[in-house]
Chains A and B, each alone.
Chain A
Amino acid sequence: MPDAAIAIPPRATERRLPGARLRRFVPWALLALAIAAPFLLSAYNLNLLARFMAMAILALGLVLIWGHGGILSLGQGVFFGLGGYAIAMHMKLADLPAGELPDFMVWSGRESLPFWWQPFASPAFTLAAILIVPALVAALFAWAVFHRRVGGTYFALITQALALAFATLLTSRQDVTGGFNGLTDFYSVFGFGLSRPAVAKGLYWVTLAILCLAFIGLRLLLASRFGMLLRAVRDGENRARFLGYSPTPFKVVAFAIAGLLAGVAGALFTLHAGVVAPALVGVVPSIEMVVWVAIGGRYSLAGAILGALAVNLARDGISSAMPELWLYLIGALFILVVTLLPNGLAGFARARFGGEGRA
């Protein structure tokens, strides 16, 4: 049984470094800035920030499963995609005159709407689908794997295969999924015109609110006995089992919650980006998601948010200038962080400045 397999520095409670009061003030200052951002940033930059915040919601889920559950998923893009395609299908249908088909279906020669598209005309169904489908798929998938006591590297490989299969399926069924190009050209969501600046600001605040809600919810969850048990199963699955706990449900529930967050993130991202496509949900983006969290610090919720924001900001800057450079750079960054800062930027900040407890 692995013992103290994870080298995390102990909580620095007895250490009260100067500037402790200042440190407590920092998160609130950042929150205030985030709330005020629509008045401070250009429409273009606000849109970028909103996208990155949506991705940060997904990153929080990775802290839960990877940091605290020891479950490495290289397939979060699947759940991100399920949420994204759900809202995209709704938006494709919402602006359509009665009896007409979405543009890409007409181009591929389809004559009728597939039956599984039809309920997405309803906003209520779409919202329910965003909240339920990714979580349910995640739960069923995790249960199927974990109850057979498959874990570790094998689980990571299976999730990667899932991402590959999902992206391949989306690409190959051009007539119902939009294929390689995905779904795009949205005009309104739930009756709000997407081109109006006020709607863009409103959607930004909605994203920020959901990010805050997810942060608080996960903080509570991680502090609860559920969080303790998740860490117990991570560090000593056999010990937990032979104390009388069934490890599988803890892992399945955590994975489902991460799936839910990824789905919500995907839906919000699609709203802000105006597109969802296989290239956003496949193997490479799924790995990038893990890199955000590795860089931010996989045991820290705040670290994951900052990691997702920082890496995506860097990606935006670098890949627009030199697209081919980005993959090498993020690969190098990943190796650097894993070897030098195994607990990410959050771990570095904690070692340097003390403060907030860890896993």
Chain B
Amino acid sequence: MTGSAVADLLLAVDGVTVDFDGFKALDNFSLTLQRGETRVVIGPNGAGKSTLCDTIIGRVRATDGRILFRGEDIGRLPEQQIVARGICRKFQAPGVLPNLSVADNLALAARRDRRWWKSFGFGIPVGERAMVEETLDLIGLADRRAVMAGLLAHGEKQWLEIGMVVATGAELLLLDEPTAGMGPAETSRTADLIRDLGADRAVLVIDHDMSFVDQLAASVTVMHQGRFLKQGSVAEVRADPEVAAVYLGHAA
């Protein structure tokens, strides 16, 4: 990576608190992400990982603190504009559009102009076809392009949704449990895919499968009860007594 770290700072979550009627899902939480960085956020159930994603994409609004994307405070932008700035999220349960083909799922994601009155054309505009093809190759579903997304295998759905997130042209990808329900072979393929993606984007992954986190070889942020607990390499985090205490009773 070249250039100064500051210039490549994509995301800064700055002291964000999300208060659900007295329950603090996020409590003065901070995190920064550079371009080219892949970060895994782990933590026991209820640690606030999904709320973190929700807050970044504008589904949940922060009670306090700021969310900066490329220096701009996006905390009050409508969801559509946050996507337009270059942030896209894969949901925990695969959110593919089941009654559209694989290619059409990607085509909708790849649309540059998403206003409703620009939707009365047919097919995929020429300018967006390349993105669809590229993404089909990337996620390895090129030969499944005409299949209805609802008929894909579970792992394929996860890949398709990752592809949709990529096809939006987003620079910051939020991947919520991308390996949920996958076997070891699929998990390792997903890790390869995400490592590729991280090269010129920023990727925030939520997962608690430690073998997957190992394969990603990314730095890890540990959350606990909405707060920042630890950050470091997988090995460092594993060796940490505080983290072990939090995970006691969890498979880690």
A and B are interacting partners:
yes
Whether B150 lies near A3 (C-beta < 8 A) is yes
1/0 contact trace for A232-247 toward B, CB 8 Å? 1001101111111110
- List A240-258 residues whose CB lies under 8 Å from chain B: 240-246, 249-250, 253
- List B67-102 residues whose CB lies under 8 Å from chain A: 78-80, 83-84, 88-89, 91, 93-100
Give bound CA distance, A245 to B122, whole Å.
17
1/0 contact trace for B103-123 toward A, CB 8 Å? 010011101001010011111
Closest to B148 in A: A10
Whether B121 lies near A224 (C-beta < 8 A) is yes
User: Shortest Cβ distance from B190 into chain A, in angstroms?
Assistant: 18
- Chain A residues positioned under 8 Å from B94 (CB to CB): 3
Whether B89 lies near A4 (C-beta < 8 A) is no
Residue B136 CB within 8 A of the other chain: no
- Chain B residues positioned under 8 Å from A238 (CB to CB): 59, 91, 95
Known: A4-B150, A228-B104. A239 touches B120 (CB 8 A): no
Whether A243 lies near B116 (C-beta < 8 A) is no
Closest to B94 in A: A3
Residue B151 CB within 8 A of the other chain: yes
User: Shortest Cβ distance from B168 into chain A, in angstroms?
Assistant: 6
Known: A235-B99, A243-B109, A244-B114. A3 touches B93 (CB 8 A): yes
Number of A residues near B (Cβ < 8 Å) is: 31
Whether B168 lies near A226 (C-beta < 8 A) is no
Whether B91 lies near A3 (C-beta < 8 A) is no
Give bound CA distance, A359 to B116, whole Å.
20
Whether B104 lies near A235 (C-beta < 8 A) is no
Residue A231 CB within 8 A of the other chain: yes
- Chain B residues positioned under 8 Å from A1 (CB to CB): 91, 93, 95
Whether B119 lies near A3 (C-beta < 8 A) is no
- Chain A residues positioned under 8 Å from B95 (CB to CB): 1, 3, 236, 238-239
Give bound CA distance, A115 to B122, whole Å.
46
Whether B59 lies near A249 (C-beta < 8 A) is no
Known: A225-B121, A229-B108, A232-B108. A244 touches B83 (CB 8 A): yes
Whether A246 lies near B116 (C-beta < 8 A) is yes
Whether B122 lies near A224 (C-beta < 8 A) is yes
Give bound CA distance, A50 to B122, whole Å.
34
Decide if the interface of chain B is mainly helix, strand, loop or mixed. Answer: loop
User: Shortest Cβ distance from A117 into chain B, in angstroms?
Assistant: 35
- Chain A residues positioned under 8 Å from B88 (CB to CB): 242-244
Give bound CA distance, A266 to B109, whole Å.
39
Whether B79 lies near A231 (C-beta < 8 A) is no
Residue A223 CB within 8 A of the other chain: yes
Whether B114 lies near A235 (C-beta < 8 A) is no
- Chain B residues positioned under 8 Å from A226 (CB to CB): 116, 119-120
Residue A43 CB within 8 A of the other chain: no
Whether B99 lies near A244 (C-beta < 8 A) is no
Residue A198 CB within 8 A of the other chain: no
Whether B80 lies near A245 (C-beta < 8 A) is yes
Whether B79 lies near A241 (C-beta < 8 A) is yes
- Chain A residues positioned under 8 Å from B100 (CB to CB): 228, 231-232, 235
Give bound CA distance, A3 to B148, whole Å.
12
1/0 contact trace for B138-162 toward A, CB 8 Å? 0000000000101100000100000
B119: contacting residue among A229, A239, A359, CB under 8 A: A229
User: Shortest Cβ distance from B157 into chain A, in angstroms?
Assistant: 8
- Chain B residues positioned under 8 Å from A224 (CB to CB): 119-122
User: Shortest Cβ distance from B139 into chain A, in angstroms?
Assistant: 16
Residue B13 CB within 8 A of the other chain: no
Whether A242 lies near B79 (C-beta < 8 A) is yes
Give bound CA distance, A1 to B81, whole Å.
22
Whether A5 lies near B98 (C-beta < 8 A) is yes
- Chain B residues positioned under 8 Å from A223 (CB to CB): 122
Whether B168 lies near A243 (C-beta < 8 A) is yes
1/0 contact trace for A323-345 toward B, CB 8 Å? 00000000000000000000000
User: Shortest Cβ distance from A68 into chain B, in angstroms?
Assistant: 9
Give bound CA distance, A242 to B78, whole Å.
10
- List A159-203 residues whose CB lies under 8 Å from chain B: none
Residue B164 CB within 8 A of the other chain: yes
User: Shortest Cβ distance from A224 into chain B, in angstroms?
Assistant: 5
Whether B164 lies near A231 (C-beta < 8 A) is no
25 A-B contacts, Cβ less than 8 Å apart?
A: A3-B94, A4-B98, A8-B99, A221-B120, A224-B120, A225-B123, A232-B97, A235-B100, A236-B95, A238-B91, A239-B96, A240-B97, A241-B79, A241-B80, A242-B57, A243-B83, A243-B88, A243-B114, A244-B84, A244-B111, A245-B114, A246-B78, A246-B114, A249-B116, A253-B116
**Which B positions have Cβ atoms within 8 angstroms of A?**
57, 59, 78-80, 83-84, 88-89, 91, 93-100, 104, 107-109, 111, 114, 116, 119-123, 148, 150-151, 157, 164, 168
